[in-house]
Homo-oligomer: A and B are copies of this chain.
Amino acid sequence: MASALNDLIGYNLKRAYMVVQADFRETLGKGGLTARVFSALTLVVEQPGITQSDLARALRIERSGLVAIVDELEEKKLLKRVSVPGNRRVQPLRPTAAGKKVFRSVLQTVRGHEDRLFSVLAPEEQVQLLTLLKKFRQGTEKD
């Protein structure tokens, strides 16, 4: 049935996001990393020593919300809050060896999930979609 909703990009974006989110969870399985925890681990591995404030800014979430995520990653021994001589305010985040290993493994799983899920689009279409989303983000996200 035709609906005005179908012509709204926002609504289609939401529905598409729900599909991806659900499949991500299903793929990572019970006890697996959630999307937001995975994204935090990714940046910590890529930018070892990043502070929580900078990580929150990069992920576009509040510092307060990041605490639980970092707690979870630290409990799982995937990263450490380290102390810096001379600056007792920051506690840069450093991935453990296990953290780096888990990241590489989970990244492959996530890529598999994306490849499978987005296979309903042709390869050029996948690139198009990615490009359009990036351009939209670049033009609209504040800062």
Contacts and interface: CB of A to CB of B under 8 A. Distances in A.
Contacts of A39: 5, 11
Give the secondary structure class of A's interface. helix
Nearest to A45: B4
Given A10-B24, A136-B16, A141-B19, A5 B43 contact: yes
- Oligomeric state, in copies: 2
A8 B110 contact: yes
| Interface-central residue, A19, A24, A35, A121, by most chain B CB under 10 Å | A19
A124 to B, nearest CB: 11
B13 A9 contact: no
19 contacts: A3-B42, A5-B39, A6-B134, A10-B17, A10-B24, A10-B35, A10-B110, A10-B114, A13-B133, A14-B17, A15-B137, A16-B133, A16-B137, A18-B60, A19-B140, A120-B139, A121-B136, A121-B139, A129-B129
